Structure 1
Amino acid sequence: MKIYPCTVTLLTLALAGCGGGGGSSSSTPAPGTPAVSDAQKNYESVALSSNGGLHYLTGRLGFTTSSSGALSISSGSYFYTDDSSIPQSAANGAQTVSVAFSTAAKTLALPALSGNTRIVVNGTVYVQAFPNQPQVTYSGANVQEVYLATDGKTVVRTFLGTSYSTTALSGLISSSPAELFTGSMLGLITNTINGNSLYNQQASWQSGAAYLKVVRQYVGDTLFVGDCGGTATTGPNVSPCSTTVATVEGLFPRVSTADGVTYQIGDGQIVTLAGVRAWVATAPVQNTAIPQYRVFYQSNGAVYSGTLIKNGTPLQIPALGSAAAQNFYIFLNNAALQSVKSAVNF
C-alpha cells in the first residue's frame, strides 16, 4: 500500500477565509464611497459573496493497487475546501465571515471535522468557536480578522494581513504557475500513481479563474493550552501538569510529554502572560511551521502546559513535499475551484 499523506492541521484550516493585505492606498474615491487600499480591493475581488468567496484546499490521499495494477483510493482519504465569504466590503464596518466545507472530489466524503483549540485570555481558558466565523475589519491599508470563543464575544486571537496578491489562471491546469502546486494542496493531484493521473491533464481553467496569495501575522502574544496530564479533555477544563505544585518554580526539571524535551528553569524566564504567571522557554519548540515556545503557567493552585505564539509571528505552513515552511496561503476563487472539481478523476 502506498500512502501519499498531505495534511493541513485544523489550526491551519481554521485560517481559511481570513484576510490580510497591505499596499498603497487607492485613488481618491467618489464622495460617499469608503476608501479601500489596493490590497483590500484584491481581498474583496475574491472574498465578497457576490464574487464567489475564498476556497482553501485541504487533502490527504492514500492509494492501494491490486496485483493487476488497478488503482483504488484508500479509506480515510479526503480532498475538500474550506469555503468562506463576507457579505459586503469591510469598509462599511466589521463583517462576519460565513464558513462552510465542501468536498472537491465527487467520490470522497468530508472527513469528520471538529475543533478544540483552547486559548488563555486574561487568566481564563476559552475554546475557540468551530466552525470559525471571524470578524473582518480594515486596519489602515490592511485586513484584520478577530476570532471569537464559543461564547461569541471573547476575542481569542487576531491576525493582520500584510500582503494580498491575485494571479489570473488560464490555459491548461497542468501549465499553471509552480507556486500554485507547491504552495497549496492542489499539488496533491499532480502525483501520478502507477502511471495513472489523478486529474485530466488536458483540462483548462474556466474563464475568470484566479488565486489569491495571502501573507498574515499574529497580533498580540497568544497562549494556547493543552492537556498536560494523562487525561484527554475537551472544553476549557484542561488537565494540569501538577496539582501538588502551586508555582512554576517547583515544576522543574520537567520533561514535556508534548515535545520530549527536559526543561530546566534556566532554559526560560518567568513573566506575566495572558493574565497568568508563566515560565516561557527561550528556545522555540522544534519542528513546528509557526515558531512557538513551551510555556508552563500557574493557576488556581496547579501548573499547566501550553505554547506561546508571539506578537508579529508570521502565519506559516509546511510547503507541500518539503520540510521547509512557507509564509503564505493560497486561496482559489470560485471559477478556479469549479475548474478543479471538473478536472479531478476521483
Structure 2
Amino acid sequence: MISMKRRNAAVVAAVSVMLAACGGGGNSDTDTGTSQPLLTTPATPTTPTIISPGITTQPANASVLTDGTATFTVAAAGTDVTYQWKKNGTAIAGATSKSYQTPAATFSDNGAQYTVVVSNSAGSVTSSVAQLTLKLSANQQAFENLILAPSAGSFYLHWNLNYAGGQTSGVNYAFSDYGVLPTSPLTTGPQTNSQSSPRNVTNTLALPVASSPTRVLKNGVVLVTGSSSKVSYVGSDVRVDSLAVDNATVAYSEIRSNYEVVPLTGAIASTPADFAHFHNSFFSNANILNATATYAAGSSYLKFAQTNKADRYNVFDCTTATTGAAVTPCRAGMTLTAAMTAGITSNSDGTVYRLTDGTVGTVDGVSVWVATTPRPVSATLSSTVQYRIYFELNGNVYTGALIKDGVLLGGSYYVSNPAGVTAADRLTFLPFDIRMNKAAHDSIVAAMKI
C-alpha cells in the first residue's frame, strides 16, 4: 500500500510531465508571463531593378539673335538618371539638369554643338547634337543688304548749299563718300568700315580743303576721329563705334535701330518727303537738281534712328578754328572754377555761362562744368539735345558739348517756314538718318545742274 505522501508526489510529477509534453499556442511562462520568440526561416532579400537610361526626346536646334540665350531640353527614361551637358564635346560646369540655358550668345557661338550625357549605375547614353545658330534681325538684314560686300556700298552726301539762288565755289560744296563692310559681324565679330575718299558730285564747286572732324574728350585727352568705324551687333540693333585717327581707339558709340528700306522710283520731283527733307537744299533749290530726271532701276534709301551710347563730351574750338587735337582754349592759364566764376560768353549759344548755371564734376580725372539747361537749337541746328560744357586741361579751359547716354541723335533739317524770324522758327529738325544705295546716289549725281 502506497502512502498518501508518496502518492501525491507521483501525481505532481505526472502532471509536470504532461504539461511539458503539451505545446499549446500560448507560449507563456506561467511564472513571468513573457512571450517566447518563434523560430522562423529569414526571407531572401530582393535587389531593386535598375532601368538603363534612355533618351525619349532629343534636344532641338536653336536659333537666336546676338546677345540672346537658347534653352536646350532633353527627356529621358531610366532609374535615378543624372545629366551632364557639353558644348563642342567639353563638359559645361554646373549644367546638370535636364534643361540648359546658354549665356548671351556672341559671334563665336555660331555653330556651337550641344549634347547631354544621361547616366545612372546601369550605364550612360549621349544625346544627338543640338546646334546653336545666330540669326540676323530685320534691322541687321536691311543694314547688310546695303553695305555688305559684294554690295556697292552705303552712300552718304555731305553739303553746304544755299537754300535758294546761286552757289559760290570755295564756300559752298557737295560731295559724297561710301563704305563697304567686308564680312558680316554676325558670325565674324566686329568689322571695320572705312569710308571712301570724297567724291565731288558737282561740276562747278570745289571740294572743301578740309572738313572739321569730330573731337571728343575721353580718358583725359582730346581724341580726333578718323574715317573708320567698327560695326557690331547688339540684340536686334547695329552698334557703330567711331574710331580715332589711330583706327583702334573708340572715340564714341551709337546704336542704330528702326531700319526702313524705301524705294526711289519715277521722277526726281516725286522724291519721298523724308529723303527730300533730309537733303534739303538739293530739293528746295531749283538750280541744283533737274526735277524731270528719273531714278535708276533699283534705287532705294535706308532710313534709321540713332541713339547715343554712353555720355559723349564733344570738344570745340573756342576761337580760331583747328582740325587737330590742339583745340583753341577759351581761357589760358586759368582754373575752371575761376573762369566760370568770372563767366564765359558763348556767341553761338548767345549766353554768358557762369559757375551757378551748371555743376562741376570729374570725368576721367578732368574737371568738367556742365550747364543745367540744354543749348538752343539755333546753335546746334539739330534735334540732338546737347549741354554746353567747359573743362580744365593742362592749365587751360576749353569748351564743348555733352550728349548724354541714350539721347536720340538728330540727322539733318529742312526749311519748313522761310518767313520764320529765328532758326528754330524757320527749320524743322529730323530725328533720323539716311543712307542710299549706289543706284540712288548715281541718279542724284546724274541730275545735278551745278
Using structure 1 for the length normalisation, give the TM-score. Answer: 0.78
What is residue 141 of structure 2 aligned with on the other side? Answer: 41
Partners in 1 of 2:350 and 2:286 — Cα distance?
37
What is residue 75 of structure 1 aligned with on the other side? Answer: 169
Using the TM superposition, give the Cα deviation of residue 54 of structure 1 relative to its aligned residue in structure 2, in angstroms: 1.1
Partners in 1 of 2:321 and 2:168 — Cα distance?
29
Partners in 2 of 1:106 and 1:231 — Cα distance?
31
Using the TM superposition, give the Cα deviation of residue 82 of structure 1 relative to its aligned residue in structure 2, in angstroms: 2.4
What is residue 59 of structure 1 aligned with on the other side? Answer: 159
Partners in 2 of 1:183 and 1:62 — Cα distance?
14
Instruction: Report Cα offsets for 1:275-300 as digits up to 9, x if no partner.
Output: 42221110111122122111122234
Using the TM superposition, give the Cα deviation of residue 165 of structure 1 relative to its aligned residue in structure 2, in angstroms: 0.7
- State the structure with bigger RCO (CA 8 A, min sep 6), 1 or 2: 1
Partners in 2 of 1:276 and 1:231 — Cα distance?
23
Contact 1:223 1:274 in 2 (8 A): no
Instruction: Report Cα offsets for 1:214-251 as digits up to 9, x if no partner.
Output: 210111111122334x5554432333333443342553
Residue 251, structure 1, aligned to residue 340, structure 2: yes
The within-5 A match list for 1:155-304 is: 155-185=250-280, 188-193=282-287, 198-228=288-318, 230=319, 232-248=321-337, 251-258=340-347, 259-286=349-376, 287=378, 288=380, 289=382, 290-304=384-398
Partners in 1 of 2:271 and 2:332 — Cα distance?
56
What is residue 191 of structure 2 aligned with on the other side? Answer: 95
36 and 190 in structure 1: CA distance in 2 versus 1, 3 angstrom threshold: same
Using the TM superposition, give the Cα deviation of residue 135 of structure 1 relative to its aligned residue in structure 2, in angstroms: 0.7
Identify which of 101, 120, 123 aligns with 2:220: 123
Q: Which runs of 5+ in 2 are unaligned?
A: 1-64, 69-109, 112-130, 417-426
What is residue 13 of structure 1 aligned with on the other side? Answer: none
One-letter code of the match for 2:351? Answer: V
Residue 85, structure 1, aligned to residue 185, structure 2: no
Instruction: Report Cα offsets for 1:75-126 as digits up to 9, x if no partner.
Output: 2342321212211222121111121221223444433233343211121122
Moved more, 175-184 or 258-267: 258-267
Partners in 1 of 2:364 and 2:157 — Cα distance?
33
48 and 156 in structure 1: CA distance in 2 versus 1, 3 angstrom threshold: same
254 and 150 in structure 1: CA distance in 2 versus 1, 3 angstrom threshold: same
What is residue 445 of structure 2 aligned with on the other side? Answer: 341
What is residue 6 of structure 1 aligned with on the other side? Answer: none
Partners in 2 of 1:35 and 1:63 — Cα distance?
44
Identify which of 312, 324, 332 aligns with 2:428: 324
Contact 1:253 1:262 in 2 (8 A): no
Contact 2:346 2:352 in 1 (8 A): no
Partners in 1 of 2:285 and 2:356 — Cα distance?
47
Give the 3-state SS of the residue equivalent to 2:399 in structure 1. strand
Partners in 1 of 2:321 and 2:299 — Cα distance?
44
Moved more, 168-177 or 158-167: 168-177
The percent identity for this pair of structures is 33
Give the 3-state SS of the residue equivalent to 2:296 in structure 1. coil
Using the TM superposition, give the Cα deviation of residue 164 of structure 1 relative to its aligned residue in structure 2, in angstroms: 0.9
What is residue 10 of structure 1 aligned with on the other side? Answer: none
One-letter code of the match for 1:96? Answer: T
Contact 2:335 2:397 in 1 (8 A): yes
Contact 1:248 1:303 in 2 (8 A): no
Using the TM superposition, give the Cα deviation of residue 139 of structure 1 relative to its aligned residue in structure 2, in angstroms: 0.9
Residue 114, structure 1, aligned to residue 211, structure 2: yes
Q: Which runs of 5+ in 1 are unaligned?
A: 1-21, 66-71
Using the TM superposition, give the Cα deviation of residue 63 of structure 1 relative to its aligned residue in structure 2, in angstroms: 10
256 and 49 in structure 1: CA distance in 2 versus 1, 3 angstrom threshold: farther
62 and 223 in structure 1: CA distance in 2 versus 1, 3 angstrom threshold: closer
Instruction: Report Cα offsets for 1:171-209 as digits up to 9, x if no partner.
Output: 223222222211224x5145335xxxx444333222211
Instruction: Report Cα offsets for 1:153-181 as digits up to 9, x if no partner.
Output: 22111111122110112222322222221
Using the TM superposition, give the Cα deviation of residue 266 of structure 1 relative to its aligned residue in structure 2, in angstroms: 1.8
61 and 299 in structure 1: CA distance in 2 versus 1, 3 angstrom threshold: closer
One-letter code of the match for 1:174? Answer: A
Partners in 2 of 1:304 and 1:64 — Cα distance?
36
Partners in 2 of 1:32 and 1:267 — Cα distance?
54
Contact 1:45 1:51 in 2 (8 A): yes
Query: Rg bigger for which structure?
Result: 2
Give the 3-state SS of the residue equivalent to 1:248 in structure 2. helix
Instruction: Report Cα offsets for 1:38-80 as digits up to 9, x if no partner.
Output: 0000111111232221111233345999xxxxxx754234232
Cα RMSD for the two superposed structures = 2.8
What is residue 249 of structure 2 aligned with on the other side? Answer: 154
227 and 58 in structure 1: CA distance in 2 versus 1, 3 angstrom threshold: closer
Partners in 2 of 1:64 and 1:174 — Cα distance?
17
Partners in 1 of 2:291 and 2:415 — Cα distance?
21
